[in-house]
A = this chain, B = another copy of it.
């Protein structure tokens, strides 16, 4: 059943039916209502391919995330989805699971499918893929940890700054031996955090040992294992700055399993303010990343570009803030209730 059937049944031309669908104001109210009725009667829905073939528009944007299992990304997704939905667009959520192969499969597919736009987490994406996106003229927005010189609009935070704040907070509490469980160091995000950690120490005349910096692979299990290794060192650190809350959950478990107390024996500061962080015991002190707002903002930028058709690159900076709770051992965190 197609537009011709509807036209026939309504006693009009296909053009008129098409107009009812695309430019309702160009049709008499009477004919319009009539046709609407017929369409409902016949339960007609326009063929999406035929439509796309003509308009070269899909009403679809894609969001590529490194790992959907980490709630911080679903938070971003919620923000993106909200804006997209309000614009009548649907969001295609692509989960690369930290695999470059999968990422590239997705980009391949997305360019085939011609989504109208793409939002991705910068620094997780292979540069070759980014070129491919550029070449395909796909409107794209990058959510990043740093401002870069790309042909994309950007929403970025300063992860270096965040890491410095996190580490600095521990230092202010009088702690000197601070270890770092890093994320996957292939990603800029993790590199920035590592730099921030080191900078905070250097700035206060402190130092670190190489064995105190361990990659946690951006997974809970990785965080667990990294913490275990730290606890087996001759000189156990007094605190750990963990590059994200997700890994921190694993690290906390490892520490407790060893019978140590957080924050008394070992203090912990995370990064992200994951939804679960306020529910851990002790509640996790962390750097608040405005994930939801990043999603909203990125999606707005994307639509600016889609709707204007122009390549108006914009960069928007969203600051991160320290969220003091209990795991850092700082007094002001102790009375925290339900994370607020």
Contacts and interface: CB of A to CB of B under 8 A. Distances in A.
Interface of A: 43, 45-53, 56, 68-69, 71, 74-75, 77-78, 81, 85, 90, 92-95, 97, 102, 105-106, 108-109, 111-114, 135, 220, 224, 249-250, 252-253, 256-257, 275-276, 278-281, 337-338
Contacts of A111: 45
B112 A224 contact: no
Contact of A257 (B105, B257, B338): B338
A74 B85 contact: no
Q: How many copies of this protein are present in the complex?
A: 2
A102 B86 CA distance: 11
A253 B338 contact: yes
5 contacts: A48-B113, A69-B71, A81-B95, A93-B93, A280-B280
B85 A75 contact: no
Nearest to A221: B338
A111 to B, nearest CB: 6
Contact of A49 (B52, B69, B77, B279): B52
A51 B49 CA distance: 8
Give the most central of A69, A71, A279: most B CB within 10 Å: A279
A279 B50 contact: no
B112 A46 contact: yes
Contacts of A52: 48-49, 52
A108 B90 CA distance: 11
A281 to B, nearest CB: 4
A85 B105 CA distance: 9
A106 B85 CA distance: 10
Contacts of A281: 256, 280-281
Contacts of A109: 90
A256 B278 CA distance: 12
Nearest to A283: B253
Contacts of A105: 85
Contacts of A93: 68, 92-93, 95
A313 to B, nearest CB: 24
A56 B47 CA distance: 10
Contact of A68 (B77, B92, B94): B77
Nearest to A114: B48
Contact of A53 (B53, B74, B90): B53
A224 B275 contact: no
Contact of A74 (B69, B78, B257): B69
A220 B280 CA distance: 13
Contact of A279 (B114, B135, B250): B250
Contact of A280 (B74, B78, B279): B279
A56 B337 CA distance: 55
Given A43-B135, A49-B49, A279-B280, 11 more contacts: A45-B108, A45-B111, A47-B114, A50-B53, A68-B74, A77-B95, A81-B95, A90-B106, A250-B279, A253-B338, A276-B276
A249 B279 contact: yes
A258 to B, nearest CB: 11
B249 A276 contact: yes
A109 to B, nearest CB: 6
Contact of A275 (B56, B69, B95, B256): B69
